[in-house]
Structure formats: structure tokens, C-alpha cells
Structure 1
Amino acid sequence: MSDQRREPAGEHPVQPPTEPGTALHLALVLLVAASGAVEAISFTALEHVFAGVMTSNLALLGMAIGRGQATGVTAAVLALTGFALGAAVTARLTRRSGDAGPGWPAPVMYCLTGEAVVLAAGAVIWAAMGGTPGQTARDALQFGAAATMGVQSAAMVAAGRAAAPTTYLTGTLATYIVRGVGAGRPNRWVPAQLAALMVGAGVSMLLLREAPGWAGVLPVALVVCAILTAAAPVIRMRRGPSGS
């Protein structure tokens, strides 16, 4: 009889965690750019609250209460509620996400697809109103924008080591300075993410000024590109054996 030991049925050797590949890093950069675009629309064209930065929204809520501004209170509460709902639903859908190998787990990809669908619906509403929605539409769009950022934030948490924050980069910047620059091991993708946030917001502002009805298309396009980029390694891996 052979002395070779076989793996028990249904069990696989545990693989050490690996760093995300280039495709996933690029997907993260695209998602950051999308969040920058959404934040520009949310803060400047809706009710002057953020779609994905809840720390700032809590401060804005406190200021609105202190000033007795009902509109500011409503906007902040809508953003906080939308973000929380989006994050909670995503957490529920991704709670059993496992290791997806070279890509993000399927539930994460499904949630990002759902984010793109909601953003697309918002873009259609925005375009139909010529980029100047009324109060009720602004409230609905504010809630939806915050919900998409909640989805995106929770999806990146569920993706684990293969992802990073994409809607709130204060911690990313602090970690880069302390563990990167301070320790002499800077992560070259962090500057790309910070630049993407500014570029996404800047292009969004340009569209709001020059072609306001089209401003909602940019976040949709960026999220779709991120999904396709993140899916590329898995597609190549599945096609590899059949093509050989």
C-alpha cells in the first residue's frame, strides 16, 4: 500500500492570503473615482451633505440642529439612513462570502452590480429633469446616492484583504503616512486612489457646469468599468483550461 496521504473528501489545503492583483487594484481606483463623482453631485447639486462620508454628515446634522435648519436636518438624516440601509443589505447578502481566488467573491460582485443599477436609475431621473430636480426628487436622489455608497463600502469590507476602503480615505491616507512613508514602505496604489477621488469629483463638477443632465452617467460608467476590471482575472482563469 502507498504511504501517500490523501486529503479528506471535501477538504482543500488552506492557501495563505495573497495581496490583490493589478486588476483588483485598478478596480479599487475606479470605485474611488466613482465615489468622488457621487460626492460632488451629492454635496453641490443636492442638499450639501455627503453620500459616503457619514462622519461629516453627523457633524452637519449637529450643525443643522443647532441652527434650526429643517432642510439640513432632513438631508443629513436621509443620507445617514440611506447609507445604513445600503450597508445593512449588503452585509446580509455577503455574510457568507468566501475566498474568491484572484477576484472578489460573487456576492460582492452582485452587490456592486446592484449599486450600478441604482446609480443608473438615478442618472435617468437626473437626466429626465435636466439636472435640476425638485425638492422631492432631490430627497429621493440623496437617499439613493447614500444607499449606493453604503453598498460599496460594505462590499469592500466583505471582500476582505482583496479590497480597501473606497468611499472614505482619511484612514487610508493616515495609514499610508504612518506605515508607508514613515516606515519606508509606501503603497504605490494609495496615491492613485487619492488622485482618482479628486479626478472623479473634478470631472463630475465639470459635467455639472457644462452638461448638467449628463452628470449622473459618470458614476455609473466608473462602477461598471470597476466590475468588469475586477471580473477579468476570474474570466481569464476559467477560460484558461478550455483554451489549452
Structure 2
Amino acid sequence: MRIAVVVLVAASGAVEALSFTALDHVFAGVMTSNLALLGMAAGQARGAGVTAALLALGGFGAGTAAGAWVTRGGEEDEERWSAPVLSCLVGEAVLLAVGAGVWAASGGAPGGVTRDVLQCGAAAAMGGQCAAMVAAGRAAAPTTYLTGTLATYIVRAPGGTSARSGPWVPVRLAALIAGAAAAVALHRAVPAWAGALPPVLVTAAVLTAAVP
């Protein structure tokens, strides 16, 4: 499960990088930052910035609610992810794959309504992933927002030995950086195919988690 979590973190990094650099300059999964961006846009009377932040917030909320519905009733297992959790992640991969197709059709430079739809969809995918990880309980860990993970690691690292504060935390942090770097590099090299990276990574995570 730990490897699957690392791969999901890399997928999150890729989505965040593409969301911020190629869509509406907001984040797909970090709602704390989007709330701050919303406030700044409102303070500067930038209608486009307000719309982008609201799309991300709305998409994330919808994705989280849908993920909670899909995973409702799933039994927690400290060793494996339940079928509802895996189903939620499969749904995320499908949503990201559809977005990748739209991205490719736009040549890697979506604009106007297409860009807004992709922004909302990316945030919904991250919301679904968050819901899946919450439902997975102790068999998972945060994959879209790692500020708390980093703070916990710094506080507990000197004497901590748990999975959440142990050696896997730096691996997850590195995966976030690697995913973002790979997405940006891919976008620069072949813009139309950059959107394919996140669904490929989420699919790889699901396949990894499904292995007995």
C-alpha cells in the first residue's frame, strides 16, 4: 500500500503542476491556498481569479462528496484498500483520462470554457482521491496536501517510528516534487500529451494496490 500511496502522491503533484501552470493558476487539491487566492482576487477585483478559485473549490467539494458516497460502507483494512476505495480511484483515473483527451484535442493549450471545465474536473479528481484515502483509514495516508504530513514528520522524526512519521514521508514528499517536475517537463516537450501523465499514475497506483 505504501508504494501505491507514493504513486498517488506523484499523480497529485502532476495534476497540481498542470492546474497551476497551464489552466487557471489555482490548485486542484490544495484548498487552503485556493481560499487565499480567492481572497486576493476579490481584494484586487479580478473577476477571472475569483471564478477560477470558485471553480476549483466547487469541483473539489463535488469530487469529495462523490468519493464519500462511493466509499460509504466500505470496511477499513490496515493491510489492503477495500473494493469501494479502489472503485473511487478507478473513477478518478477515468475522469482524468477524459480530461487528458480534451487536453490533447486542444493541443495542450486549452482556453476559455474548456480550460474552466478542465480546472473543475481536475479539482473533482483530487477531491475523489482525498475521499478515497480518508475511507482507506490506516492503510493510506494524505496524498494531495502534505503540509500537515511535513509538520508531523518534523515534530516526530527525532523519535518517531510510525509509518506516518517514518522514512516513507520523505519518499512521498520527493514523489510530489517528481510528479510536478515530470508534468511540467512533459508539457514543455509535448504539450498535447502532458495531460496523460496523471491518469497513467493513478492507474498504476490502483494496479499496485490490487496486487495481493
When the two structures are superposed, what TM-score results if normalisation uses the length of structure 2? 0.96
Is the aligned partner of 1:196 residue 2:180? no
Confirm or deny that 1:92 pairs with 2:72.
Answer: no
| Structure-1 residue corresponding to 2:15 | 38
Following TM superposition, by how much is the alpha carbon of 1:100 offset from its aligned partner in structure 2, in angstroms?
A: 4.1
TM-superposed CA distance for 1:25, in Å, is: 0.2
- The letter for the 2-side match of 1:97 is G
Q: Deviations over 1:72-111 (max 9, x none)?
A: 0000000000000000111122121103463101101000
The alignment's C-alpha RMSD in Å is: 1.0
- Contact in 1 for aligned 2:78/2:139 (Cα 8 Å): no
Q: Distance between the aligned counterparts of 2:166 and 2:96, measured in 1?
A: 30
Give the one of 112, 132, 142 matched to 2:89: 112
Contact 2:78–2:137 (Cα < 8 Å) also in 1: no
Supply the distance in 1 between the matched residues of 2:77 and 2:132 (Cα, whole angstroms). Answer: 13
Q: Which residue of the partner structure matches residue 240 of structure 1?
A: none
Residue by residue over 1:32-69, the C-alpha shift from the partner in whole angstroms, topping out at 9 and shown as x without a partner, is: 00000000000000010000000000000000000000
For 2:59, the equivalent position in structure 1 comes to 82
Is residue 19–residue 26 contact of structure 2 (8 Å, CA) maintained in 1?
A: yes
1:1-244 aligned within 5 A: 24-100=1-77, 102-181=79-158, 183-185=159-161, 187-233=166-212
- The Cα of 1:145 is off from its aligned counterpart by 0.1
Is 2:160–2:166's contact at 8 Å kept on the other side of the alignment?
A: no
Q: Is the 8 A contact 1:100 1:106 kept in 2?
A: no
Q: TM-score, normalization: structure 1?
A: 0.84
Identity of aligned residues (%): 64
Greater Cα radius of gyration, structure 1 or 2: 1
CA distance in 2, matches of 1:89, 1:132: 28
List structure 1 runs of 4+ shifted beyond 6 angstroms: none
Distance in 2 (alpha carbons) for counterparts of 1:172 and 1:161: 14
- Unaligned 5+ segments in structure 1 are 1-23, 234-244
Secondary structure of the 1:99 match is coil
